[in-house]
Structure 1
Amino acid sequence: MGRHSLGEPEELDITRIFDDSAARPVSSRQRLLVRLAALCTVGGLLLAGVLFPPIGALGLLSNKTGDTVTATAAELIDKDPPLISTMVDVAGKPFARLYDQYRVLVPADQISPAMKSAIVAVEDHRFYEHNGVDLMAIARALIANEAEGRISQGGSTLTQQYVKNYLVHVAATSKQDREKALEQSTARKIRELRTAVHVEQVLSKDEILARYLNTVPFGQNSYGIAAAAQTYFDVPQERMTVAQAALLAGIVNEPSGLNPYRFPERALARRNVVIDEMAAQKRIAPDVAEVEKRKPLGLAPEMSRPPNGCVGIGAAGYFCDYVLKYLSGAGVDLAALRRGGYTIKTTLDLDALAKAKEAVDAHVPPDTDQVANAMAIIKPGKDKHRVVALTANRTYGLDKSKDETTLGLPYALQNLGAGSIYKIFTAAAALEKGKSIDDVIDVPQSYVSEKFLGGGASCPMGRAGLRKYCVQNNTGSDYPDKLTLQDALAVSPNTAFVKLLEETGVSAAVDMAVRLGLRSLATTTASEDAKKRTIGKFFSDHNFGSFTLGPTPTSTMELANVGATLASEGTWCPPSPVEAVVDRAGRTLPLREEPCAQVVEPGVAKAMTVGMSKDTTSGTAVTAAKTYGWDRPMAGKTGTTQEHKSAGFLGYTAELAGAVFTFDDSPTPSTLCDPGGDAPPKPCSSGTYIYGGKQPARTWFQAMNGVGERPGIMTALPRSDLPAVDDGGQDDEQKVPGVIGLTSREARAKLEKAGFTVKTTSKSSPKPKGTVIGQSHRETAAPGTTITLQISSGR
């Protein structure tokens, strides 16, 4: 009777005889109890509890239990298991996959016949004869287990195994759920048995077998037969040989211990057992069995499985990452997305991405020390701004030894500025206040502002112990004393735009930058500000004249979206990478996206486009444009930060807007130099410095207007002329009523009556709260122009 006396009974869990588990030793005491359990429990409990549930065998099958069984069976029948979600480009080509479980559903009529035969032969050879519970198999398992003195066989049918695998791998959403589905209790087993009978009454045998083969894990995070065939053999499941099907059927209940890559001899032995069973049950001919048993395992050189997520998918990694962040912000549950089998229809153009990637790598190779080169391309529109491509010279990945990164180089905010590109915001603010692109502005070689403070040590002292803001043009530059605003945008003298900023005001330029697309200025906290103000408010409150020279942190994608806004005649839209997210039933998920808005008048946007059109013909980007044979009308602006740690180029046509940002991506950025020739930029202390007209502009033109056998992106698009501009973009201007000193309500009523729209901002002032203390247009403006009013906070 074993080591235990009758006074020390050993607890026996009878449910273990139903499970296909590893062999376990059984004492003689257990064998005695098994005999009694076989007669009493199996005969009474199973027949009464499973076949005749109203009897409620042993009190285990309450109405509540019956309800649970019915609900579970309904879920098994109606709910699909977790599936892969796929990102596709504009042509419908997949480029990224997301999944918790690598699984591809296969319809019942398409599953490999060899796989069906192999799994039935080894797991449940009476599958087509029983009704979900095989009492003969249970009895056989009892006898075999008693004879061997251990639990060596189980009596579970494939239907029961399907139920169990579904509860563990599909229905369970937490560790507790999985533990409950695996608990060793009679109640759990009875529920499983009854659920299996219920399923058999609703689904055909072929459908049950297909669902089983689509649900079970085969190891290596591969679930279902299609994923397993791809993972182990790199073939579609319908093309598997008998030997390959037998291997998978053999390892299904012990995928870790029989992993053919780790334990090939054990896996081979188990495979041949399955083949022998198939032959013994006349599912294959004996001579076929002998041929199949002599075959090698037939494994792929390494496990073949699509990358999960954005790492390892190549050049589209950054775009994929931005899609996930965008969807999260749009209200999509990313955990559900990884299980739901969705199709994410994106705006990515893989051809455009390839050309952009080739260009960023050509001018700054991926292994260049301390220098990143990022590019973003956006398609303008008044209904949507579609992100066409996002890329960088650094590969999106986790291997830092190969200079890989998962930082959002082409779309995230980088802690370096875009330089003189910011002059366009000062120019646009001036146009909105009534200036024309043909207006002449002063261009002194150096300039000391009497309005702005915060200058460097070389600047003269001003009030309150602060230095005045002083600026000079680039050494060696030869500007005339005066330039039109259009020509100034092309050749970019610093002094002219600091003087212009004095007229517009810093807050107006900051507001213009935010409206056109630099939304991070209004959402990101300035790191050096103890009051935790946003970057834009920090510059506005301090009245920093340096804003027009672009020292603030930069997002390449936001710069591109500025171009898209101007190309869309002043309509801003969020840079969207997604057209739609469609579930497996063809339904479109709602996305919470910020609506498009007319942020500047069309006349101002058109004037800016024409105002920026000379950069490639007589301005700072002319050499780069000629190098790549650019001959299309466009708007462009180069930029370089004062210390040459970063440089950029923004360019757009009516069809596409793009920005390139080249910068030191190390933790402590240094000045960058251009060695000349084909050599990439490098950190330096002196030399020929990097400029926006060099690597950034060259990258842009190569990507957008490729030469030779690979035509560029633009060559496939229609050629568009520059927009017509009347009087610098101001159409039929009329006098703007003066409203300073009025209450905000009075001012709004007066301006709206005159045909203008009104926007208000609060500003600290001792004037009574609600009093207008400033307005953006003092003289004339086109009807419908937005007039920005500064309203006193009363403090």
Structure 2
Amino acid sequence: MCALSGVLVAGLLAPVALGAGLLSNQVSDSVDAISADLATGSPPLTTTVTDREGTPIATLYAQYRLPVAAAGIADTMKAAIVSVEDRRFYTEGGVDPQGMLRAALHDSAGGNLQGASTITQQYVKNYLINVVDRNDRAAQLADQEDSLARKVREAKIAVELSRRMSKDDILAGYLNVVEFSGTVYGVGAAAKAYFGTTPDKLTVPQAALLAGMVNNPALFDPYTHPAEATARRNLVIDDMVSGGLLPAGYGTAAKDAPLGVLPDGPVTPSGTCLGAAPDAGFFCAYAESYLAQAGFTADRLATGGYTVRTTMDPKVSRVTKDAVDANVPTTQDGVANTFAVVRPGQRGHEVLAMVANRDYGNDPDRGQRSTNIVADAADKFGAGSSFKIFTAAAAMVTGKAGLTTPLPNPPHDCFTPPGANQYTACYPVGNDGTGYPDPISLADGLATSPNVAFVGLEARVGMPAVLDMARRLGLRKTLTTNDAGNPPVTDPASPLAGNPQYDQPQSDYFRNLLSFTLGNSPVSPLEMANVSATIMSGGVWCPPDPILSVTDRAGKPVPITQPPCERVIPTGVANTLMAGLSQDTKHGTSAIAARAAGWTRPDIAKTGTTEQSESVAFVGGVDDYAVSSMVFADGPHPREICPGTPVHLGECGAGAFGGTVAAPPYFRAMGELLAGQPDKPLPAPDPAYLGAHS
């Protein structure tokens, strides 16, 4: 019998010999490949996302698994699993010959397939289900089907595996791959999730409970079925005693012990960025999306066992999160305050913080948002007059104006886009308030923000040049969205098809709309911070990069594909533009808030306020921090934003302004971060760009 079954499991016996009706091609040709993978490969592992100092901020996984070597598994666990699953494990050759022959005879007679699998065979089966075919439900069902073909394939792989691996490594491999319940896989994760311990410290009752669960994780779940779990645990203990692996007296004491699992478990970390701390959630989500563009699929990240070290600065994140929470409470109805910080540089723009008064999560009642309101074009109302930066930069590059150029600035005017036909209506514009000089220099215009002067300048420069400048300086993704902040509609059956606001990207939609410089279109807060970083980097754009390094499960570096940095404006233009933006906090639109905060540092800034005050912005930077602080209506019923403690929606007449509501978090955060540090002077303007030259 043993000889015959040995031949059978080796796959050499002709199917007709036992009348099993098994076609030889039912046995997989990939036995060698699978056994090699089992011997050398590794199952899906968790990916750890850290801040720049190496402190974990999130764990990403599809299967929560903490792999452990054989030496790191307690003898109690090894004894428990062998006792209940395969007592002859250490003496058999990978299969149970008697069980295999009994299975073959029953199958050929038309009965249900019988025969207990060895631990080696169970390792094969669980590896196929939980690793090889984990994303293929049909293949998983085939891995479990009640057929001799499946059993023979499994046995052939087990026999080959037993030649490649030691018994201890097979046992450890099995205990690392098997499911315990839900997303808990492997004894390392199970020890932590159920008992808050490590697998080398498992007691007899703990080990017996876990060993009993692998037979039917749902039925023997200690939280949902404690009675069944207890009975199964005690059965394992009895098997340990009867097998001579545990003295009877110890067995009795172990069976009397309570289950001892952690309360409200199994206790596992969130498998997504939704589990990150309030100051890290949006950053983590952006790091995920950034890596996705570099070729890391969600499944690859959730199973690859990577360590992703991000550029997130924990101090900057904490300080900026405190600042926006103080300005707008997390649960404030209908008002979001985002804050992004990017470090300028000509070799890279590291993102240091991405926070909001909102937290990253799925519970709106707790002030959470499940979309990335910091990275996406989430401010649907726009950044207001901070977009005048693009018009000013385009004017300098094209020679239409320099810092000292006088710009016509009557209280009201009406402009027609260049190249428009005779039937195109002019665009009426008025300044917000009185007292502006006419004409006004570009430098004073950047500080005090008159609308008429900038729309007139935009008309002279031309929309293509202004839009191209916005793209070059940093609005790379923003301009690919439509005027609702979403991907352009491409379905011709959509009711929105044919509407330029929805089926065109902003880069096309605003080709003939002079309202662009007034910032009334959706925008990404992160990209606005990166606009400042480009200017502060001497005119070099780099992608806002959240990644310092990625290492694989073996600790080897993984290269990241990303867009290269590029010079987008001359250094002289960047320095001159900084000089123009240096007056906002001194005598411009944010000067009152700056004085109230005791702010005197050299910096750059441009505020913005939309027409109905549904959004206000502060964009600028100081020292090595490029910043955007944006406060906008984010609820289903947007209204005017009102200043106060706290900032709120309402009907307040004048409404909020960028200088009064968006600027204070900047002064508070940067004041704390730079406390005790000397001022860093700004570069001098380039004389070539002080006046017009075309």
What TM-score, normalized to structure 1? Answer: 0.78
Cα distance in 2, alignment partners of residues 45 and 622 from structure 1: 92
Cα offset, 1:520, TM superposition = 3.7
Q: Deviations over 1:232-282 (max 9, x none)?
A: 222222232221111101111111011100111111121122222223333
| Correspondence 1:471 to 2:438 | no
Q: Deviations over 1:89-128 (max 9, x none)?
A: 2112221122121111101111122211211122122221
Contact kept in structure 2, 1:360 and 1:375, CA below 8 Å: yes
Cα distance in 2, alignment partners of residues 137 and 283 from structure 1: 24
Q: Deviations over 1:698-746 (max 9, x none)?
A: 112222223xxxxx2x44977521012231657xx9xxxxxxxxxxxxx
What's 2:584 paired with?
A: 615
Cα offset, 1:557, TM superposition = 0.8
Cα offset, 1:63, TM superposition = 9.0
What's 1:494 paired with?
A: 451
What's 1:15 paired with?
A: none
What's 1:430 paired with?
A: 395
Contact kept in structure 1, 2:478 and 2:523, CA below 8 Å: no
Cα distance in 1, alignment partners of residues 435 and 563 from structure 2: 45
1:319-718 matched pairs, under 5 angstroms = 319-413=283-377, 414-434=379-399, 438-442=403-407, 444=409, 446-452=411-417, 464=422, 467-475=425-433, 477-520=434-477, 522-526=479-483, 529=500, 532-540=503-511, 542=512, 544-674=513-643, 676=644, 678-684=645-651, 686-706=652-672, 712=673, 714-715=674-675
**Alpha-carbon distance change, 139 to 278 in structure 1, aligned in 2, over 3 angstroms:** farther
Cα offset, 1:179, TM superposition = 1.8
Which SS does the other structure have where 1:338 is aligned? helix
Cα offset, 1:443, TM superposition = 6.3
For structure 1, the 5+ residue unaligned runs are: 1-41, 455-461, 707-711, 734-776, 780-795
**Alpha-carbon distance change, 186 to 655 in structure 1, aligned in 2, over 3 angstroms:** same
**Alpha-carbon distance change, 467 to 201 in structure 1, aligned in 2, over 3 angstroms:** closer
Which SS does the other structure have where 1:448 is aligned? strand
Q: Deviations over 1:198-226 (max 9, x none)?
A: 21122111111100110110012111001
> Which of residues 677, 702, 724 is equivalent to 2:684?
724
Cα distance in 2, alignment partners of residues 493 and 702 from structure 1: 27
What's 1:88 paired with?
A: 50
Cα distance in 2, alignment partners of residues 679 and 257 from structure 1: 51
Contact kept in structure 2, 1:453 and 1:469, CA below 8 Å: no
| Correspondence 1:156 to 2:111 | no
| Correspondence 1:284 to 2:284 | no
Which SS does the other structure have where 1:388 is aligned? strand
Which SS does the other structure have where 2:658 is aligned? coil
Cα distance in 2, alignment partners of residues 365 and 63 from structure 1: 66
Cα distance in 2, alignment partners of residues 530 and 225 from structure 1: 55
**Rg larger for:** 1
**Alpha-carbon distance change, 379 to 57 in structure 1, aligned in 2, over 3 angstroms:** same
Cα distance in 2, alignment partners of residues 264 and 128 from structure 1: 32
| Correspondence 1:112 to 2:74 | yes
Q: Which amino acid aligns with 1:431?
A: M
Q: Which amino acid aligns with 1:722?
A: L
Q: Greater shift after overlay, 128-137 or 323-332?
A: 128-137
**Alpha-carbon distance change, 350 to 61 in structure 1, aligned in 2, over 3 angstroms:** farther
Contact kept in structure 1, 2:478 and 2:524, CA below 8 Å: no
Q: Which amino acid aligns with 2:326?
A: A
What's 1:747 paired with?
A: none
Contact kept in structure 1, 2:46 and 2:60, CA below 8 Å: yes
1:202-281 matched pairs, under 5 angstroms = 202-281=164-243
What TM-score, normalized to structure 2? Answer: 0.89
Q: Deviations over 1:483-519 (max 9, x none)?
A: 4422321222223323333432333222211111112
Q: What CA RMSD, in Å, does the superposition of the two structures yield over aligned residues?
A: 3.0
* Percent of residue pairs bearing the same amino acid type: 41
Cα offset, 1:583, TM superposition = 2.0
**Alpha-carbon distance change, 81 to 446 in structure 1, aligned in 2, over 3 angstroms:** same
**Alpha-carbon distance change, 111 to 623 in structure 1, aligned in 2, over 3 angstroms:** farther
Which SS does the other structure have where 1:106 is aligned? coil
Cα distance in 2, alignment partners of residues 446 and 466 from structure 1: 22
Which SS does the other structure have where 1:660 is aligned? strand
Contact kept in structure 2, 1:49 and 1:61, CA below 8 Å: no
Cα offset, 1:561, TM superposition = 0.7
**Alpha-carbon distance change, 69 to 698 in structure 1, aligned in 2, over 3 angstroms:** same
| Correspondence 1:305 to 2:305 | no
Cα offset, 1:567, TM superposition = 0.8
Cα distance in 1, alignment partners of residues 26 and 523 from structure 2: 61
Cα distance in 2, alignment partners of residues 227 and 402 from structure 1: 30
Contact kept in structure 2, 1:369 and 1:682, CA below 8 Å: yes
Higher relative contact order (CA 8 A, sep 6+): 2
**Alpha-carbon distance change, 106 to 719 in structure 1, aligned in 2, over 3 angstroms:** farther
**Alpha-carbon distance change, 58 to 44 in structure 1, aligned in 2, over 3 angstroms:** farther
Cα distance in 2, alignment partners of residues 387 and 602 from structure 1: 22
Q: Which amino acid aligns with 1:519?
A: R
Q: Deviations over 1:645-699 (max 9, x none)?
A: 110001113412110111111234222222x3x2222232x43411101221111
**Alpha-carbon distance change, 194 to 535 in structure 1, aligned in 2, over 3 angstroms:** closer
Q: Which amino acid aligns with 1:160?
A: Q
Cα offset, 1:138, TM superposition = 7.0
Which SS does the other structure have where 1:247 is aligned? helix
Q: Greater shift after overlay, 559-568 or 81-90?
A: 81-90
Cα offset, 1:560, TM superposition = 0.4
Cα distance in 2, alignment partners of residues 61 and 168 from structure 1: 23
Cα offset, 1:418, TM superposition = 0.8
What's 2:145 paired with?
A: 183
**Alpha-carbon distance change, 679 to 495 in structure 1, aligned in 2, over 3 angstroms:** same
**Alpha-carbon distance change, 154 to 216 in structure 1, aligned in 2, over 3 angstroms:** same
For structure 2, the 5+ residue unaligned runs are: 485-498
**Alpha-carbon distance change, 656 to 106 in structure 1, aligned in 2, over 3 angstroms:** same
Cα distance in 1, alignment partners of residues 519 and 668 from structure 2: 25
**Alpha-carbon distance change, 381 to 43 in structure 1, aligned in 2, over 3 angstroms:** same
Cα distance in 2, alignment partners of residues 579 and 58 from structure 1: 62
Q: Which amino acid aligns with 2:650?
A: P
